[in-house]
Structure 1
Amino acid sequence: MVPSYIQKSSKNMPQHIKDRTNLQHFIDISIRLTTEKEPQLLLDEILQVVMSIANSDAGSIYSITEDDQLKFETVINKSLNLYLGGGSDRFVSFPNIDLYIDGKPNQRAIVAHAVNSGKVINIPDVYAALPFDMSAAREMDARTGYRTQSMLTIPLKDHQDDILGVIQLINVKDSNNNIIPFSEELVTLIRSFASLGAIALTNSSLIKEMEELFSTFAETIAMAIDEKSPHTGGHCKRVPALTLMLADAVNAISKGPLASFSMSDSDRHQLDIAGWLHDCGKIATPDHIMEKATKLETIFDRISFIDAKFEIISRDLKINYQEQIISAMKNGKPVEVQQLERLLDTELKQVALDRALLQRINVGGEFLGDKELAQIERIAQHYHLVINDVKTPLLNDDEVENLSIRRGTLTAGEHDVMKRHMDVTKNILDALPFPKHLSKVSEYALGHHEKLDGTGYPRGLTKEQMSIPARLMAITDIFEALSAVDRPYKKAKPVSECLFILGTMVEKNHLDPDIFAVFIESGVYKNYISEYANPEQLDDVDLNNLPGYKPIR
């Protein structure tokens, strides 16, 4: 049904009342430019206003698609009692109109011609002899049983003179209900309203483009970091995915301490951006630390140097013993020769064992105990090389420090360098002039290394100082790292072990127990592993003995 608003035209109003009414319409729509979030609804209202002002029988709004077509957004026809699209609940089924046919401007449709030429087209009678091909209008009339006569087509242009859409009015009527042409005065008035519609479309387009630009920028930064570190290549992509999965689960929970939590679309969007930017500071982390897959790796893995030094030690042992064996043989001491050969064999075997031990320790895949630390110290003190008459230990202090790393591949100093990525992340995010609707991105992104007891970094916040989304990101960041299948220095952990480690951190008051419970009971971890990791990691989890987990009640 045609909106009742435009059924009441201003044709019989005194002129001064018409002018005052038109001005009020203009003011109202101008105000709506700053509040209406759906530009098509505002265009729909503008169409109704100009139809009322002009006493037009029909009108349409068209948008321009990415594939160079004009799409009907709103169609209103009072004679046919027709209202499609726009603010109605009825879909516009009319086919799109091509702007170009066989690579040439479409001459069969006035709206296409208006867009291609960028000109306002005012036609007194579309059935009269015209310099336009009106076959499309005639075909539409034949399809609807309508008679199109006067027509006004106005392209909507943005600040760069690009055309965003079209408003078209049909069959303006006088006070006696006779169809008449659109006067120049009326065209000027309608164009002023149409310009407001163009502003609405421009504002919406600019906002959308800026949102897309920033989102793409965030994803590109994450992609650059992943490219910089192939060993953690998918981390910056997987963390936002897992974060949103858990956030949706927390938002959906209807019982327990988190039942009152709700997340708007804006909050979810900010959390997504935060997920992409959470490690942006790693772009400043040195490659040899980011890429440190073994304990002795710098720009290259120094285990090869130690292998070479072991080769020298083995060679020197052989030379030394061979000299003693030759001397014993010359002196006719066969028993001493046999003893020396046995000693040589024993020492060479020990060299091979110690060499293999350091190769294994260098990988850093398992926790290093006191026994291994003692063996490293023994090797460092026992073996020496003589180069240019200078006695040099097999392992220097830096090599001993790196080999003595108890867990992982980073020394305490390198951990500090890695932790600096959060300071850099904070500096980057603090420097970005986030608009109001993205004001929480920084807080969310910086929360993934904080701990509830205040011992985290970069700001040392406690639970009370962090929002739920910020606390949530800490769990997703750690779970992704534990379950990742693309780390060269460790095997992908089974889910039971990942959850056990998370639960232990919950017990230490590092992670939020309520969010951890949602993570478990919602099955988010299962869905994530199935989609982003290896389903074979999904082993049985004994919830009764899982530390840190308490069922939601």
Structure 2
Amino acid sequence: MDTYERISSSSTPVQPNWSVDSTSDLLVRLAQEHSIGGLMHRILKEARQLTGAEGGTFYRFVDDGDRSRLVFSVIHNTVLGIETMDDAPAARWHAIPLYHEGEPNHRNVASHVALTREPVNIADVYTTESFDFSGTRQFDEEHGYRSQSMLTLPLLNHEDHVIGVLQLINARTRDGRNRSFSAKDQATAQAMAKFAAITLDNQLLVQSHKDLLDAFIQALARIIDVRSPHTSAHCQRIPVLTELIARAACEDSDGYFADFNLNADEWYELHVAAWLHDCGKLATSEVILNKGRKLQGLLDGFDAVRARFAAAVAASRDDREKADLREDLTFIERINRGGEFMSDEDMARVEAIAARSWPDVNGELNPLLTDDEVLNLCITRGTINAEERAAINRHIDITIDILEQLPFPPKLRRVPEYAGGHHERMDGRGYPRGLTRDQMSIPARIMGVADVFEALTAKERPYKPPMPLSQAFSILQKMRHDNHIDPDVFELFLKSGKWKDYAREHLLPEQNDVEDVSPYLV
């Protein structure tokens, strides 16, 4: 947005709303605003109409523990056609500190009102010496305007703390002449400000609770990521991916998602679910989460295997056998790193190596590999064996159990369903509940694609180099054919180009090797 948006300019001043609606009607109008920015806009508009002011400013009080200040949040001027909302650029509209070098800032009228909690009514800002109006004069010079009468009021919450300051400019008579704000104007505006402060305070309280919940769930996600460097930032990337794909679905006007849309509450619901989708991993053993090699975590491990091979080489008198043992050790070291696939030939070779022996210190012959080592070395994908995989998979049961026990408000009631469905399959062969595509919501299916894509392209997995997009898309394509992931979500993700936004921010340049996605859509 520019510094301010233009509304219909008019040289005709705003007339006061002399037939003011009842107090109940005012409260209803205030209550109908569901955003803090919209409410501040409404408060200023209502105050202008009640007093006949042609302009005004709403300052939001901010105290972040470092410094107290008033921030320009809404500015109206019907003569200049200016109407800004809460996102006015800071470069143009500066914050007003309540204190300067440790001293109260009484030179600015808005900060003075915030400090004293008392209204200030000025007939002409150009003739008063009580406050510094150099900024007002500069504004007037830039816009060919003349600020004259000003009424500045504090907004106090139920604890008598300032939460905002309302400033009205240039009251007008019925026939459009400049006038001062009367005592009646001031009393009326003050009464309205009390109602407005109650509504605003309630919204600020709700927002503070929402901010606390956001901070808490994001802290949980960071804890999960910190526990395992191999999945570092996974919980932080899933919300990004999920919301990118959901945005594409909302923008789809004539495809499968034409009727899909999310309002503000539903966006927040999806946001919370995405951040909490792996919260059950807090109960998963760090030994399993951090298993970066197939033999990692076993009592003997690869170092013990290496020592056995060294003993076998030392005991052998056959150079060919020594060379074979060294090649076998190199092979074991390679497959110990894990990967996306292990051939039947490699697994057969592991079995053959296990059948060979080495002499211990007592001269007794023992197998080069134990049964547990064979089991782990023959893991076909990654570094986790079936038992460990089952332990990790239990995280989704724990996630659902935790989330279903939380007293989510109605607006967040689908968080457990969204967060708990990212390991289901479209054919019903997923887990934990074996849901089919028709039994799953669109957000849950979106999260499933996001979870797989992030895992494929993650840069931190120890058993594989960063996977290029071409390989990731090929795997997703096969998963679509196998009814693992949702075909419409997969197609939307590729056709919308949202993957480009994600790749630009979260992948290495060398991973982005795709220009045309059409081969992956067949």
The TM-score normalised by the length of structure 1 is: 0.77
- Partners of 2:59 and 2:333 in 1: CA distance: 70
Distance in 1 separating the partners of 2:518 and 2:330: 41
Alpha-carbon distance between aligned partners in 2 of 1:95 and 1:238, rounded to the nearest angstrom: 34
2:471 pairs with 1:474: no
**1:396-447 residue CA offsets vs partner (Å, 9 max, x unmatched):** 3222211121222111110101101111211232233323333333322222
Alpha-carbon separation, structure 1, partners of 2:296 and 2:345: 23
- 1:479 Cα deviation (Å)? 1.6
Count of matched residue pairs: 498
CA-CA distance at 1:27 after TM superposition:
1.6
State how far apart, in whole Å, the 1-side matches of 2:461 and 2:359 are.
35
Q: Deviations over 1:307-357 (max 9, x none)?
A: 122233334x26xxxxxxxxxxxxxxxxxxxxxxxx433333333233223
- Does the residue aligned with 1:453 lie in a helix, a strand or coil? coil
- Partner-residue secondary structure (3-state), 1:156: strand
Q: Counterpart of 1:448 in 2: which secondary structure?
A: coil
Is the contact made by 2:124 and 2:148 (CA closer than 8 Å) also made in structure 1? no
* Partner residue in 1 for 2:18: 9
Give the 3 Å change call, closer, same or farther, for CA 25–167 of structure 1 in structure 2. Answer: farther
Verify the 8 A CA contact 1:279 1:425 in the aligned structure 2: yes
Secondary structure at the aligned position of 2:296 is classed as coil
Q: Distance in 2 between matches of 1:504 and 1:7?
A: 67
Matching residue of 1:30: 27
- Retained in 2: the 8 A contact 1:65–1:71? no
Please give the per-residue CA displacement for 1:202-235, whole angstroms capped at 9, x wherever unaligned.
Answer: 1222222222222232322222222211122132
Residue 389 of structure 2 aligns with which residue? Answer: 415
Cα gap change, 1:292 to 1:139, in 2 (>3 Å): closer
5+ residue gaps, structure 2, are 1-9
Aligned positions of 1:181-192 closer than 5 A: 190-192=189-191
Give the AA of the match of 1:249.
A
Deviation at 1:451, TM superposition (A): 0.6
Task: Say if 1:424 and 1:2 are closer, same or farther in 2 by CA, change over 3 A.
Answer: farther
How many angstroms apart in 1 are the aligned matches of 2:249 and 2:102?
A: 52
C-alpha spacing 1:368/1:59, structure 2 compared with 1 (3 Å)? closer
* CA offsets 1:357-403 (integer angstroms, 9 cap, x no match): 32222122253333333332233233144456876544332222111
Distance in 1 of aligned mates of 2:84 and 2:505: 39
Q: Which SS does the other structure have where 1:166 is aligned?
A: strand
Alignment-mate amino acid for residue 157 of structure 2:
D
Q: Distance in 2 between matches of 1:533 and 1:96?
A: 38
Distance in 2, Cα, partners of 1:261 & 1:139: 48
Other-structure match for 2:494: 520
Give the secondary-structure state (helix, strand or coil) at the position aligned to 2:163: strand
Contact 2:17/2:51, CA 8 A, preserved across alignment: no
Query: Counterpart of 1:257 in 2: which secondary structure?
Result: coil
Inter-partner Cα distance in structure 2 for 1:542 and 1:173: 63
Instruction: Read off the aligned partner of 2:51 and give its amino acid letter.
Output: M
Seen in structure 2, the aligned counterparts of structure 1 residues 439 and 95 have a Cα distance that, compared at 3 Å, is same
1:165-223 deviations in whole A, cap 9, x for unaligned? 12356899999x9989966x986665432211111221222222222222232322222
Rounded Cα–Cα distance in structure 2 between residues aligned with 1:511 and 1:461: 12
Q: Contact 1:288 / 1:299 at 8 angstroms: preserved in 2?
A: no
Please state how far the C-alpha of 1:452 moved relative to its aligned partner. Answer: 0.8
The 1:479–1:35 alpha-carbon spacing in structure 2 relative to 1, beyond 3 Å, is same
Deviation at 1:164, TM superposition (A): 1.4
Which residue number in structure 1 is paired with residue 212 of structure 2?
Answer: 213
1:304-383 alignment to 2 at 5 Å? 304-315=303-314, 317=315, 343-365=317-339, 367-383=341-357
Quote the offset at 1:242 in angstroms. 2.1
- Deviations along 1:124-151, one digit per CA (max 9) or x if unpaired, are 99999x9x82453997699765654xx7
> What RMSD over aligned residues (CA atoms) do the two structures have, in Å?
4.0
Structure 1 unaligned blocks of 5 or more: 11-20, 319-342
For 2:168 and 2:320, locate their aligned partners in 1 and report how far apart those are by CA, in whole Å: 101
Query: In 2, distance between residues paired with 1:138 and 1:353?
Result: 80
Shift in Å, 1:47: 1.0
For 1:378 and 1:162, locate their aligned partners in 2 and report how far apart those are by CA, in whole Å.
78
Q: Say whether the 8 Å CA contact 2:228–2:290 is kept in structure 1.
A: yes
Q: Which AA in structure 2 matches 1:73? A: V
Amino acid at match of 1:444: Y
CA shift at 1:468, angstroms? 1.5
Match of 1:491 in 2: 465
Shift of 1:296: 0.5
Residue 363 of structure 1 aligns to a residue whose secondary structure is coil
**Structure holding more helix per residue:** 1
Residue number in structure 2 paired with 1:114 = 113
